[in-house]
Chain A
């Protein structure tokens, strides 16, 4: 979606070309292969209810991954997303007394604030992204636990509706994820901000010399990542009909990074593939669903995920040489 067509690369070796193809389209091929496998071997797979389930479950991963893709596009990384989900979940139940809209706004503001903090550390204090956001990963989870020490149920009908209602047969959660995907794709492809963030990731010194507001761009990117993680946290909370900051969003950062990298966005930045990222998230979801449906241990998911990440990184590296 964010890629440009009509490129005629210089003649490449067969191996390099295969790797290039894999980096770009491998994720689509894998999703397709997994779909075909399930259609053939998984009972009740070709049912509307099944696709609903997968889309509902993948929605929070997609939303978090979109923000992660932007951050990775600037050669950064945001490890705090899972903890931000937990914080936003805590904020929602803490402020539910004022009604769902206020509670949701409070959660989103908290997510954006964490992003601003991380972004400021990266852009102005020069802290490495992995260090800055690792500190937030630990600290923000702790804060969420202090705010809501144990699983708390709620009955607010508006919030429950958000998590369970469908419009025209499509769950609200899925519609929101789709809209956000379109927004982020537009941001990357059509706006100054999108071009500039890619340039910051591709060559920071060049971006600076070209007069780009590098620091502001970095802060904005982390704010967006925090905001999107908070949206995912709100949706996951609405769906669970309870806030559980102890376990909500655990290891989400790994899933999101996997989705982004597998989707063809290199960890070295300078490129953002939005549709690829969504496909990456779908791949993780389908993989997990396939294992569960065939009653195979879920710990396999992690192992297969690891293999996929290695393959993606290998394809990216091999291509560079």
Chain B
């Protein structure tokens, strides 16, 4: 499809760096007319940077953009828009208070005599446009009164009606109902027929295979693969995204994980029953027994962090229940979860973990203060004891407990957070990407610690995008896709390939 015809939009050898990271490293990308092109990749792969370069938000350090065969450069997003490149974000960027019709035709309203907006004409035109997109709605209503899907459709209709040649959609279905998704795909089909190109960013494999012609996989700022989607096996696509070659089965022993743990029989220490949350989680059930490490597998956006947060009380859910050590938890209360014995190590250490202004000591004691005080007054002696023990135990390297936590290395900060969880007397640890962004040595230490803790009888729920870590660290792996459990592997079934296969087609043993 891309052969012969000149691409509508092309990026050649684009590099873009930010302080400390090279986000894009020589990325090339071709978009042919009337093509729906999937752009995929895990966290930090460079997708959003590439989109921002294509839409004029960022200027590339190296490389060039070509539009209709000629070189272009977009100084601002407006330049890109004028050149016919439209972007539809997850968050619709229209004026919610204005009517659907006004939003649709904003800036291009039909004018009657004296330059006054011809309202009748406006509504007629708007109705015509909306019906073309299969939306039955009163175009005089304010936009915000519509559902998310319909709003998205208005945004799309608007984007197309301003003569867009290229439409970039970033996770357009994340807030849509299945019926709305069908409508959206119908519209995308129309666009394709009309020669308009679509760049489609999504983590939902189903969707990609339904509507995309081409796919480009980004990994660590480089193009890992580009080509037609139809002939590409799902498991191969996943392997590309995760940086794993299915043919190359590595030897074990790359991580510090020792091997299987012996889960104690008896009651699970944490049990999530049929957790549901609109657009994010669908009937997710997970049980972790004492002494067991349960891995959560899946791609970005599969609902892994959401599951952990829901269990920890940090994310309210619509249906289902969480039981920790026999106690049914109140929804949306981290305090209740901590009291019952479930503690979360958040994915984003800086934003949700450390309190940078406080000392190592105060950070460790933070969640456990109610246990370490009497009548509201903190017992410094008890805090000192707990902090001392944990710092030694987790080998936290700080000049003193009073050193500011922000002065520590990433790995030691992570250990401080682990210590914070342990200080609460947790019975189960919910670890969301515990080794991301820390150096190799620290990574090995954290992995060894997880083993030790499980051996001592703690339950661990482990989320990791590092497949190797997941496979070697977990006794069982529950695989999520689009917010639902699509497979569960245990014992010798836990292999990288099995996980990828489960992600790809929901195979594996049903849980």
Contacts and interface: CB of A to CB of B under 8 A. Distances in A.
**CB–CB under 8 A between A and B in the complex?**
yes
A147 interface: no
B428 to A, nearest CB: 15
Interface stretch (A2-10, A61-69, A110-118): A2-10
A5 B356 CA distance: 17
B97 interface: no
Interface in A259-315: 266, 269-271
A270 B358 contact: yes
Interface stretch (B8-16, B34-42, B316-324, B396-404): B396-404
A203 B376 contact: no
A192 B373 contact: yes
Given A192-B370, A193-B376, A207 B355 contact: yes
Interface residues of B, number: 40
B359 interface: yes
B377 interface: yes
A196 interface: yes
A192 B377 CA distance: 6
A9 B407 contact: yes
Interface stretch (A95-103, A135-143, A210-218): A210-218
Given A199-B366, A270-B356, A7 B403 contact: yes
Contacts of A318: none
B484 interface: no
A208 interface: yes
B377 to A, nearest CB: 5
Given A195-B362, A211-B338, A205 B369 contact: no
A199 B441 CA distance: 30
Contacts of B369: 192, 195-196
Interface string A116-143: 0000000000000000000000000000
B352 A205 contact: yes
B346 A213 contact: no
Most buried by B among A8, A195, A213: A195
A237 B354 CA distance: 45
Contacts of B362: 195, 198-199
Nearest to A210: B367
B334 interface: yes
Contacts of B356: 202-203, 270
25 contacts: A4-B359, A7-B399, A8-B399, A9-B404, A190-B378, A191-B376, A192-B373, A195-B362, A195-B369, A195-B378, A198-B362, A199-B362, A205-B352, A206-B354, A206-B355, A208-B334, A209-B334, A209-B344, A209-B353, A210-B420, A211-B335, A211-B424, A212-B335, A212-B366, A212-B367
Given A199-B362, A201-B357, A211-B333, 16 more contacts: A4-B359, A9-B403, A9-B404, A190-B378, A196-B366, A196-B369, A203-B352, A203-B355, A208-B314, A209-B314, A210-B420, A212-B335, A212-B366, A266-B357, A269-B357, A270-B355
